[in-house]
Amino acid sequence: MGALCLAAPALAGSLTPQGAPESLQDARLSPGVYPINPALAQDVPLREPYDPFFDIDWSVSLRGAYTKATDSERFDMLLSPSVTLKHTGNRSAISINASAEAVRAKDGQIDVTSLRLGLESTYALDSQTMLAAKGDLSVTRALAGTPGVASTISVAPQTITGTGEVGVTRSFGQFNVGVTGALGRSVYGQTTLTSGVQQNNTEQNFWSSNAKLRVGYQATPIFEVFGTAGVGRNLFDIASTSLGSKADATTTTLEGGVTGRWAGTLEATASTGVAMVRYDAAGLSEVNTQLYNASVSYVPDPTLRMRLGLATTVAPPGPNAGGTTRIGYTVTGDVTYALNSRLALRAMADWNTASFAGSAQTQKGYGWGVGADYKLGSHTAVTADYDYDQSESSTDGTKDAHRVKVGVTLKR
């Protein structure tokens, strides 16, 4: 009863549908009382809340690195900035990534060893049709004295690579069909030898194009069987001095495989096939090789991620190599594990081998590494890494290197 008595004065006046007493509502609608004019009658248009088109993430790492190699040792400072822009709409998704790495050696010389820019975009025309496009541009230069760089090289060539690809995928019941087309350009700078001689690598510059058809059949809710067929062209700027002609060629590939997906936790793909490289010049022999590709991704929970991959590459040999075609096989693996909210551990390993058609030259190598990130706060982390690499070349023997890196990473 006491509560009802206290509430009675407030309930004495009748309420409008808006919940205000009639006397106050009448005052608000009287001339000269707010609002003076309706909002839509004013000249200033209504504004939507601020909502940026891109979500932006960035990071900057500053690390010190000590490298003990077969022929030398060095101490470097590494600066590695990166930025990512992402947009997700009702039908479209766009991702832009940019990164760089600058190295300052003990003598004060600064080298930009890596500049990378990547773009990925998808657009759903309807529930069954997806358009996709991506592009990559990279400018890289390997450091002298590291595995994979011959001991006779004092300045490795700068490599500029750009690729662009567009494609469309369409589902037809249990079947899905995808068609892609790609265009690329590779340019190599000069190589400076320890003797002071400069080697011109212009004859290795080339344009590339590729078209691929993929047909898949969803045999079960888990397994998809697929086949791919592709054809590509390599067109070189000038004739090769060692070959006596331009190494223009047509590459044809044919593969078949299977993909399995288990509840978003495990995904595995394996395929095999053949590649055939036919050169325009009559004096260059046709190259035939086997293709092996596979990948496994395992993410049982947000704290653990494991990946393993096998890839085959069939491409021109590049600078400082012989023959007509480089046939390479690479195995890579990495694992990351978040021990708690502050400490994350990681490990990685790789193995590679390559042969060169038309040459007795061979290459192989392997490497492994471990690292850790410790968060000091939401935007700052201390990082530490150790890695080991070994390379073996028929022209340069066996080289290895140990590297330790410690530094700080700032991120958004």
Give residue-wise pLDDT tens across range 324-377: 999 999 999 999 999 999 999 999 999 999 999 988 889 999 999 999 999 999
pLDDT higher at 389 or 74: 389
Side-chain half-sphere of 292: how many Cα atoms within 13 Å? 8
Looking from the CA of 251 toward its CB, the CA atoms found within 13 Å total 26
Which pLDDT value is given to residue 28? 47
For tokens 């059949």, the residue is 217
239 and 270 belong to one structural domain: yes
In a shared domain, residues 138 and 188: yes
**Hunting for tokens 């888990």 — which residue is that?**
222
Burial 205-223 (b: 16+ CB within 10 A, else e): bbebebebebebebeeeee
| Whether 87 and 16 share a structural domain | no
147 and 232 both lie in a single domain: yes
Confidence class of residue 181 from pLDDT cuts 50, 70 and 90? very high
Question: Do 31 and 129 sit in the same domain of this protein?
Answer: no
pLDDT surpassing 90 at residue 34:
no
Q: Residue 128 has what pLDDT?
A: 93
Owning domain of residue 18: 2-38
CA distances from 211 to 147, 178, 205 (A): 34, 11, 21
Specify whether 74 is located in the same domain as 182: yes
DSSP state of 340: S
User: Cβ distance 93 to 68 under 8 Å?
Assistant: no
245 shares a domain with 342: yes
149 found inside a domain: yes
Tens of pLDDT, residues 74-95: 899 999 999 999 999 889 999 9
Residue 51 belongs to some domain of the structure: no
State pLDDT tens for residues 264-311.
899 999 999 999 999 999 889 999 999 999 999 999 999 999 999 999
Residues 304 and 403 in one domain: yes
Number of helices (H) and strands (E) in the chain: give both, helices first: 2, 21
pLDDT at position 119 is 96
Cα 159 from Cα 126, distance rounded (Å): 40
Q: Phi, psi (5° rounding) for residue 128?
A: -115, -10
Q: Output the pLDDT for position 108.
A: 80
Q: Please tell me whether residues 121 and 209 are part of one structural domain.
A: yes
Percent of the chain whose pLDDT exceeds 70: 88
Tell me: do 33 and 112 sit in the same domain: no
70 lies in the same domain as 30: no
* Residue 8, SS3 per DSSP: helix
Q: Give the pLDDT of residue 150.
A: 79
**pLDDT at 55 > cutoff 80:** yes
Q: Could you tell me if residue 50 is inside a domain? A: no
Q: How far apart are CA 188 and CA 289, in angstroms?
A: 26
Q: Please indicate, yes or no, if residue 254 is contained in any of the structural domains.
A: yes
**Reduced to 3 states, what is the DSSP secondary structure of residue 34?**
coil
| Residue 44 lies inside a defined structural domain of this protein | no
Backbone angles phi, psi at 83, to 5 degrees: -145, 145
Residue 45 resides in a domain: no
Is residue 220, in this structure, part of any structural domain at all?
A: yes
- Amino acid 320 reads N
**79 and 15, same structural domain?**
no
> Does position 25 have pLDDT exceeding 80, yes or no?
no
Mean pLDDT of the chain, nearest integer: 87
Buried-exposed string 368-398: b where 16+ CB fall within 10 A, e elsewhere: ebebbbebeeeeebebebebebbbbbeebee
CA angle 26–30–34, rounded 5-degree value: 100
Is 48 part of any domain? no
DSSP code at position 286: P
Q: Give the whole-angstrom CA distance, residue 291 versus residue 295.
A: 14
- For the chain, what is the domain count? 2
